[in-house]
Amino acid sequence: MTQTPQRTAPIGVFDSGVGGLTVLHELLVGLPQEDFLYLGDSARFPYGDRSAPELRGFARENADILLARGVKLIVVACNSATSAAIDDLPLHVARSGHTVDVIGVVGPESNLAVARTRNGRVGVLATPATIASGAYERAVLAVDPLVRLTSVPCPRLARISQNGAPITEQDVELAREYCAPLREAGVDTVILGCTHYPFVGALLQRLLGPQVTLVTSGTAIVRRVGHALALRDLATPSEVEGRYSFLCTGDAAAFATIGSRFLQLPMGTVDHVALTQEAFA
């Protein structure tokens, strides 16, 4: 039996931890009337070193937890899970009897970057695992094979500033090193291909120059989700701000503390969810 989602249902968002909260932040600002349910799979954080089959399994379980709570759309706010599972997950959702769209990172920001570039030179900054997966290269070249993409793996960029510590001169030198190949290539558009990078957005903008457009996962996802809701006639009829809440597979208190720095809006409630039975509770 196919279950059609309700317009008043929340949008589900999942990530391996708190990083995806920068995407949720943009969604809360860009689609303020919608309700959201965020799942942080912090018990299995980080996803970076997991195999693709393992990540496909995690993504299915995360989706099941959200579907069991009646979400009307699923956002995969995680680069690793998107790279491994974005083709498999919609099939899994459909087979389990739900007509729910799945939107991941990578695709939306690649599309937006190609739409924005004027000189055809686009850069992407991401973790070494994301760059090695080739996901951005495939996505950008699928939209426009004539774009020249410069990919820079940034092993230490995600650590800067996310703990609330001031940015240091050493951080600036590190970021400068990552920006050097982009400056050399003359890119006019740069994808921030990791959910943690909005914390260093201003620093990167200063190093790259004001003529360069930065594209974050959050900005791109907001548009894509907005289109999807309009197309499916699933936008909420509410005119007041929506509610949002959190599930996490690990320590809920730690998630709330660290998460509030990433969300930059009140955290509301965080509930623990166990990974085995509760998915189908």
Q: Which parts of this chain interact with a second copy (CB under 8 A)?
A: 25, 28-32, 164, 166-169, 171-172, 202-203, 205-207, 209-210, 241, 260-261, 264-267
Considering beta carbons, is residue 145 or 166 the nearer one to a second copy? Answer: 166
- The two tokens of residue 186 are 């003359």
Alpha helices in 86-200 (DSSP H): 88-95, 107-116, 128-133, 135-143, 169-185
- Long-range Cβ pairs for the range 113-117 (8 Å, 24+): 113/140, 113/189, 113/190, 113/191, 113/215, 114/140, 114/143, 114/144, 114/147, 116/189, 116/213, 116/215, 117/147, 117/187, 117/188, 117/189, 117/213
Considering beta carbons, is residue 132 or 202 the nearer one to a second copy? Answer: 202
Helix 21-30, helix 252-263: angle, nearest 10: 50
Q: Name the minimum Å distance from CB 262 to a second copy.
A: 10
Q: Name the minimum Å distance from CB 257 to a second copy.
A: 9
Q: Name the minimum Å distance from CB 203 to a second copy.
A: 6
Q: Name the minimum Å distance from CB 28 to a second copy.
A: 6
Q: Name the minimum Å distance from CB 32 to a second copy.
A: 5
Active-site positions read 78, 194
Q: Is residue 166 packed enough to be buried (19+ CB in 10 Å), middle (13-18) or exposed (0-12)?
A: exposed
Considering beta carbons, is residue 231 or 265 the nearer one to a second copy? Answer: 265
Considering beta carbons, is residue 230 or 265 the nearer one to a second copy? Answer: 265
Considering beta carbons, is residue 146 or 240 the nearer one to a second copy? Answer: 240
**3-class DSSP state of 175:** helix
Quote the CA–CA distance of 112 and 108 in Å, as a whole number.
Answer: 6
Q: Count how many Cα atoms sit within 13 Å of the Cα of residue 176 in the half-sphere of its side chain.
A: 6
**3-class DSSP state of 40:** strand
